[in-house]
């Protein structure tokens, strides 16, 4: 019976399959087989034995159920795998696990699981990048109100919003690619990292095993890969989650009834509430923001796993059985939901324009101040004058443009044409060019990836 929602509710089948019992067992068997092959290449194990071990190191022969039965008897998970594999290899089984300690197998297998998981995360990030790039292009000139401290500030564009998120997604792709050389490492170094159990050929055995599995060998370890590596991985996953949280939070805010500039896609038969039939709740982005909290919380255990007793203790093991699959599956769920949200995002242009003009042009106070300084008024004097006029417009519930037309001091500096030019659509600065620059940068990165 499934208990944790990642077993049945969250994450894709593809990601869950990576972390299910059978695939995890297969990765352990893959490492054991690679070790046997390395020994055979160096003459420590008969070629025929390595061949048989490699053939039988498969869940077609070594069943999860049998491994569990043995573990129930001996209370050691890796020895249970070794014994189950030995059973199906007959006389060749005596060469299994030769010179290795448990974490040589576990940590190297984990690297294989992480490698598979990161490929899915990268695929989703690249697809999300493509969606955001298209949105940035499409809405390069969609002018909207910018908000700071939750208050109307000055105009910006939706292209800017999407381009900011796009640039951040690109950084996550680069972070993962750059960190792979530290994260995707395995070890074959024996009980305390000295390789004494492998003799003089220890470094060569480790090199051959990792080369076989497509991993980098750890430069140094004790009984395990040092957990700063896992902490870095968890921090990167949390950073990605924080970006999705950020995007989700912005969409949720902009979907609020009194704002309603954009909104999540809402299906024809979708139900928003069990009692209020009119509701269009932003459930996908709320889920994204909620699941981010779980991923954030998994960073602290990963940090605490780095300091262990002497050459190691077991306090990290139980934690990693939880935080690794949980973080990958939940982030997978978040990424796939965000792709659905952004690819089907609803826009409400009339509300975007309404909100842009909601404050009766008070948002034109900054360009008014700057135009006065261009015409010769001191900057501080202009700031105070415009502040007073803005407060007057606010309290009298009048349009700022109408108020400044009446002000004699302003009219000493500004012509009718100057005043008429004070429109939100005219005050987006270099936003389109900035968006174009980001898109060009992303295009360059995409070409480099394909090269």
Name which of 162-166, 242-246, 411-415 the model is least confident about: 411-415
The Cβ of residue 369 has, within 10 Å, a number of other Cβ atoms equal to 22
C-beta of residue 101 within 8 angstroms of C-beta of residue 59: no
Q: What is the pLDDT of residues 15-58, one digit of tens each?
A: 999 999 999 999 999 999 999 999 999 999 999 999 999 999 99
Tokens describing residue 240: 């990605």
H/E run at residue 347: strand 346-347
Does the domain spanning 362-421 belong to CATH 3.30.9.10?
no
Mean pLDDT over 68-79 rounds to: 97
Alpha carbon distance 292, 243 (integer Å): 9
149 is catalytic: yes
**pLDDT reported for residue 398:** 95
Q: What is the pLDDT of residues 121-130, one digit of tens each?
A: 999 999 999 9
Name which of 75-89, 404-418, 420-434 the model is least confident about: 404-418
Alpha carbon distance 243, 255 (integer Å): 18
Q: What is the pLDDT of residues 327-359, one digit of tens each?
A: 999 999 999 999 999 999 999 999 999 999 999
Q: What is the pLDDT of residues 155-197, one digit of tens each?
A: 999 999 999 999 999 999 999 999 999 999 999 999 999 999 9
- Would the CA dihedral through 419, 423, 426, 429 be positive or negative? positive
Q: What is the pLDDT of residues 202-238, one digit of tens each?
A: 999 999 999 999 999 999 999 999 999 999 999 999 9
Task: Give the residues across from 148 on adjacent strands.
Answer: 151
**pLDDT reported for residue 276:** 84
**pLDDT reported for residue 427:** 95
**pLDDT reported for residue 2:** 79
C-beta of residue 26 within 8 angstroms of C-beta of residue 201: no
The Cβ of residue 384 has, within 10 Å, a number of other Cβ atoms equal to 12
Please identify which of the residues 149, 278, 310, 395 carries the catalytic annotation: 149
221 is catalytic: no
Please identify which of the residues 4, 76, 273, 297 carries the catalytic annotation: 273
**pLDDT reported for residue 346:** 96
260: left (phi over 0), alpha (psi -120 to 50) or beta: left
Q: What is the pLDDT of residues 91-141, one digit of tens each?
A: 999 999 999 999 999 999 999 999 999 999 999 999 999 999 999 999 999
Query: What percentage of the chain exceeds 70 in pLDDT?
Result: 100
Alpha carbon distance 25, 233 (integer Å): 22
C-beta of residue 158 within 8 angstroms of C-beta of residue 139: yes
Residue 53 CB contacts under 8 Å (≥ 6 apart), including other chains: 32, 33, 36, 85, 89, 92, 93, 95, 96
Residue 3: pLDDT above 90? Answer: no
**pLDDT reported for residue 5:** 87
Residue 1: pLDDT above 80? Answer: no
**pLDDT reported for residue 269:** 84
C-beta of residue 255 within 8 angstroms of C-beta of residue 262: yes
H/E run at residue 186: strand 185-186
**pLDDT reported for residue 33:** 98
**pLDDT reported for residue 114:** 98
What band does 375 get if pLDDT is binned at 50, 70 and 90?
very high
User: What's the chain's average pLDDT?
Assistant: 96
Rg (CA), the chain: 30
Strands 185-186 and 216-217: parallel
Q: What is the pLDDT of residues 247-281, one digit of tens each?
A: 999 999 999 999 999 999 987 888 877 788 888 88
**pLDDT reported for residue 273:** 74
Alpha carbon distance 18, 12 (integer Å): 10
Alpha carbon distance 349, 360 (integer Å): 18
Task: Give the residues across from 144 on adjacent strands.
Answer: 156
**pLDDT reported for residue 144:** 98
**End-to-end Cα separation, the chain, in angstroms:** 47
């Amino acid at each position: 019976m499934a208990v944790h929602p990642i077993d049945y509710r969250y994450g894709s089948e593809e990601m869950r399959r990576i972390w299910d019992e059978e695939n995890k067992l297969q990765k352990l068997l893959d490492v054991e087989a690679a070790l046997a092959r390395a020994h055979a290449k160096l003459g420590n194990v008969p070629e025929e034995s390595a061949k048989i071990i490699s053939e039988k190191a498969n869940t077609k022969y070594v069943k999860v159920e049998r491994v569990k039965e043995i573990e129930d008897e001996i209370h050691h998970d890796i020895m249970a795998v070794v014994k189950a594999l030995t059973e199906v290899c007959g006389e060749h089984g005596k060469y299994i696990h030769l010179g290795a300690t448990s974490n040589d197998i576990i940590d190297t297998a984990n690297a294989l699981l992480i490698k598979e998981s990161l490929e899915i995360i990268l695929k989703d990030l690249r697809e999300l990048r493509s969606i955001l790039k298209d949105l940035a292009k499409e809405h390069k000139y969609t002018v909207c109100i910018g908000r700071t401290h939750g208050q109307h500030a000055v105009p910006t564009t939706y292209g800017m919003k999407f381009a900011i998120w796009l640039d951040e997604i690109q950084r996550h792709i680069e972070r993962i690619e750059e960190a792979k050389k530290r994260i995707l490492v395995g070890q074959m170094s024996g009980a305390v990292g000295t390789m004494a159990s492998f003799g003089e050929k220890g470094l060569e055995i480790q090199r051959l095993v990792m080369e076989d599995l497509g991993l980098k060998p750890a430069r140094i370890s004790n009984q395990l890969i040092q957990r700063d590596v896992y902490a870095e991985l968890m921090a990167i996953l949390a950073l990605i989650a924080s970006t999705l949280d950020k995007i989700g939070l912005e969409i949720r805010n902009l979907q609020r009834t009194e704002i309603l500039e954009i909104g999540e896609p809402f299906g024809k038969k979708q139900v928003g509430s069990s009692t209020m039939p009119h509701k269009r709740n932003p459930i996908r982005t709320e889920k994204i923001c909620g699941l981010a909290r779980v991923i954030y919380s998994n960073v602290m255990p990963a940090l605490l796993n780095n300091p262990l007793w002497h050459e190691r203790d077991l306090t990290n093991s139980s934690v990693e059985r939880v935080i690794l699959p949980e973080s990958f599956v939940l982030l997978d769920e978040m990424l796939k939901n965000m792709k659905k949200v952004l690819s089907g995002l609803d826009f409400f242009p009339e509300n975007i324009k309404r909100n842009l003009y909601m404050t009766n042009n008070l948002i034109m106070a900054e360009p008014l101040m700057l135009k006065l300084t261009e015409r010769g008024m001191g900057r501080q004097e202009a700031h105070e004058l415009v502040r007073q006029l803005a407060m007057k417009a606010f309290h009298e519930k009048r349009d700022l443009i109408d108020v400044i037309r009446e002000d004699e001091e302003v009219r000493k500096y500004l012509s009718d044409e100057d005043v008429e030019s004070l429109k939100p659509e005219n005050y987006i600065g270099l936003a389109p060019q900035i968006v174009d620059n980001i898109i060009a940068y992303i295009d360059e990165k995409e070409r480099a990836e394909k090269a």
